Amino acid sequence: MNETAVNVKALRKSFGGQTALQGVSFQVQRGEMVALLGASGSGKSTLLRHLAGLHRADSDSHSEVELLGRTVQRAGRLASDVRATRAKVAMIFQQFNLVDRLPVMTNVLAGALHRLPLWRGLFKQFPRAELERAYAALSHVGIERCAWQRASTLSGGQQQRAAISRALVQGAEVILADEPIASLDPESSRRVMALLAEVNRELGVTVLVSLHQVDFAFAFCPRTIALRAGQVVFDGPTQDLSPERLQELYGTAVHELMPQQGTAEPVRHTGPAPALQPVLQAA
């Protein structure tokens, strides 16, 4: 098995003549939990979207993106089998990316669509095994009582937990989380980050999470890749990011990365929760 989960080489992207990514290169090994740190406009979201194949690199570049040993794109051209690769990769967005008018359960079951016939998704006729899988995922993140509520009735933190449940049902081997806590209060932020860390620790799922608050990187991510103006300016142990180093890297923009009111101390689940491994067993 290829031990490299994410392989990025010389990734370059421009929008309307403005450079967003400048020759970004790095690797993430399977089972790592890595923070992608940077102030606003540093290129974090653009980078994650390229990893998922939602954006294409500049066509005149020598860029290459591989996930789980499979090519996603090369020189701005998506691989012909990119859909098969995406089935193993879950993207979690800042704005939750749920269908508000549908029940939470239906949103979570969307993670199973890649392995079901098209008609089952169209008519919402999901096999019992998939329903049980989705309910187990919702139970693990603590929102099973909300399973049949409309997604729009959930709080921001609950919606993000539903998105994590969808990734569990999908059976993702890599999770790309694009500022998943940016719009959440401190307590919800800690809970969401703790869930991502638990999925990483217990299931070995590779997690790359973009953050603009360094305290959450310290609390949950052993390694940090820091971006500034579309370039990697640091890649190493998070503990090496001293205040002096951050000031050196970001200058006057460093205040954006500093802890907000509240703390980012890791939290653990209280009360019973089903083990994660059965959640991801094949249906």
Q: What CATH number is given to the structural domain containing 246?
A: 3.40.50.300
Q: Kindly report the number of other CB atoms within 10 A of residue 7's CB atom.
A: 21
| Per-residue pLDDT tens digits for 18-42 | 999 999 999 999 999 999 999 989 9
**Residue 96 predicted with pLDDT over 80:** no
pTM, rounded to two decimals:
0.90
Per-residue pLDDT tens digits for 158-195: 999 999 999 999 999 999 999 999 989 999 999 999 99
Give the whole-angstrom CA distance, residue 259 versus residue 269.
23
pLDDT tens-digit map of 202-211 = 999 999 999 9
Q: Quote the number of domains for the chain.
A: 1
16: how many CB neighbours lie within 10 A of its CB?
A: 5
| Bridge partner list, 2 | none
**Chain mean pLDDT for the chain:** 90
- 129's CB contacts (< 8 A; 6+ apart) are 283
Q: Which of 84-98, 196-210, 221-235 has the lowest mean pLDDT?
A: 84-98
Q: Which helix (H) or strand (E) holds 29?
A: strand 18-29
Instruction: Give the residue numbers spanning the domain of 182.
Output: 4-279
